[in-house]
Amino acid sequence: MNKLTTLLLALCIFAGSAAAQTLAFIKDGVALPNNAEFTVSKTTYDEFGGLVLESGLSLQNLTGEKVQTTALQRVEIAPPSEDYGILNFCFDRCQEGNQDRMQTKELTAHQLMTPPEFHLCYFPYDEKYYQVKVRYEVIPEGGEPVAVTVTYDFNADSGTGIKAISKDDVVAFQEGNHLKFKFDVDYSSLQLDVYSILGNRLINKVLNGSKGEYALPLNLNRGIYVWSLKIDGKVLITRKIIIR
């Protein structure tokens, strides 16, 4: 085999490899190999101040062409119920839920999708420790699928180190068009935040005393709201409530 033949063979092999690798999952600035697996066990905070286990994944189109792409969320180990936590899957749109998902969209040439546009994560609740395992797969039209498996391991060492508040310690309820809270906790001072479902903060209030009641001085429209309690900026509990 002469040098020219060897060079042409090498170029063909390279071209074949490049064609097979249309998309790549990116983590910490590095492209992951196909079928990579890793575990996430440290929580951070979302924009509402709630606990979240972030996959840290981005997605990149490695080609100079538009690519029609299908993204899949395959739940291999789901939490027993949504009282434990909930998965978030954002590709063409954002969907919450602990079931398999499929979305399709067109990626532009060399497009790098990052959060919040491309967002894969798990929101755990309180002390509901559990391992959730998800396989994410992206399939470019006419190309080879690429996959990564993420285990979201929420355990006693994942949280903030602050004693959690259970749903029985704080009760939120509707009274007319108002939202009221009854609380009985082990903290003498807590920060209450209430948000609209769009993420607009409606109230920021310090609750003094470990036991008492508080009513929002607002008439709320019908809809979904999110409230959280914090201490020293760290979230103890986050919940949603529907005002009817």
Domain chopping of the chain, boundaries: 22-154, 170-243
Q: What angle do CA 36, 42, 43 make, to 5 degrees?
A: 120
Q: What is the pLDDT of residue 212?
A: 86
Task: Identify the CATH number of the domain defined by range 170-243.
Answer: 2.60.40.3080
pLDDT tens readout for residues 23-70 = 999 999 999 999 999 999 988 777 666 788 999 999 999 999 999 999
| Stretch 121-131: mean pLDDT | 89
Q: What is the pLDDT of residue 200?
A: 87
CA distance 51 to 237: 8
pLDDT tens readout for residues 66-85 = 999 999 999 999 999 998 99
Strands 130-140 and 146-154: antiparallel
Q: Which are the contacts of 169, defined by CB distance < 8 A and separation ≥ 6?
A: 183, 184, 185, 237
CA distance 142 to 20: 9
CATH fold match for the domains 22-154 and 170-243: yes
- In which band, very low, low, confident or very high, does the pLDDT at 160 lie, cut at 50, 70 and 90? low
CATH 2.60.40.1090 describes domain 22-154: yes
Point out the least confidently predicted range of 25-29, 62-66, 133-137, 168-172.
168-172
Q: What is the pLDDT of residue 13?
A: 44
Count of Cβ atoms closer than 10 Å to residue 138 Cβ: 24
State yes or no: pLDDT of 175 exceeds 70.
yes
pTM: 0.64
pLDDT tens readout for residues 146-157 = 999 999 999 977
CA distance 240 to 10: 57
Q: What is the number of alpha carbons within 13 Å of residue 231 lying toward its C-beta?
A: 17
Q: Are 51 and 84 in contact (CB under 8 A)?
A: no
Share of the chain above pLDDT 90, in %: 48
